[in-house]
Each structure stands twice: as C-alpha cells, then as structure tokens.
Amino acid sequence: MSDDLGLGEAARAIGVSVDTLRRWDREGRITTHRDQANRRRVPTAEVARLAPRRDRPDGLSARNRLAGTVRSVEVEGVMALVEVDVGGHVVVAAVTRDAVEDLGLAPGDPVDAVIKATDVMVGRHT
C-alpha cells in the first residue's frame, strides 16, 4: 500500500531503531499490519503521530537546545553516557539505559541536547 512504510523507513522517520518499533508494536504503542510477505508495515499516519516536529511544542520548559550528532553511547548497568558533538564541542549526558533504548541512540544520529540547569558555572580562561 502506498500509505505505508517499511519498518526501517518508518524507524528512520520517527528517529528510533527498528528494534524499538518492534517492541512498540508488541506493546501496542504503535499500529502496524503485515503485508503479503508477512513484513510489518507502518501507516504514514502513525509515523506522523510519532515523528518529532520542531514546530510543535514538546512540553519542555528548557530553552537551551543545541543541535548535534551522537559521538558515542556507553551503556553500563542501568545508566548510559551519551556524547553529543555540538559544533565541535562535546556535551555529555548521563541518562538511563531505558532512555537510550527507547530513543534508539547510536553514533551518528542527529539529536538535540536540551540543557536545563538551575546553576551555571563560568571560569575564566587562563
């Protein structure tokens, strides 16, 4: 059907891994159907519902958003460190393993580093 996407194409459009889409399908978080070859197909309406949009408020109060690219993801136990290259500077986020898996983060992925802090320290260059 022309209004469907394959799992890989849908995953790229939504910004998650194929494994995440499969898990969401099993959990009922996304609607899919099978084609004649028994492959999962995702309706474009579902992709539109789940795809990130920069023009839609996401409910976050943070104003500091830096577009970047994932440099590395190190998962150990229940936590993970995600290095994001932001214009030649590296921002490191400590997040949960579940967050990395839910977002399907991998090196090379485009992401936004959203920074919300009550304290900012500044040091003078010497």
Q: What is the pLDDT of residues 15-55, one digit of tens each?
A: 888 888 898 899 888 899 999 999 999 999 888 887 765 55
CA distance 13 to 11: 5
Q: What is the pLDDT of residues 73-99, one digit of tens each?
A: 999 999 999 999 988 889 899 999 999
What predicted TM-score, i.e. pTM, was given to this entire model? Answer: 0.50
CA distance 11 to 125: 43
Q: Which of 24, 68, 19, 18 is nearest to 49 (CA)?
A: 24
Among all chains, which residue has been given the structure tokens 């059907």?
1
CA angle 64, 119, 125 (to 5 degrees): 85
DSSP of 13-40, one letter per residue? Answer: HHTS-HHHHHHHHHHTSS--EE-TTS-E
Query: In order of start, what are the domains of the chain with their CATH numbers?
Result: 4-50 (1.10.1660.10), 64-115 (2.40.50.100)
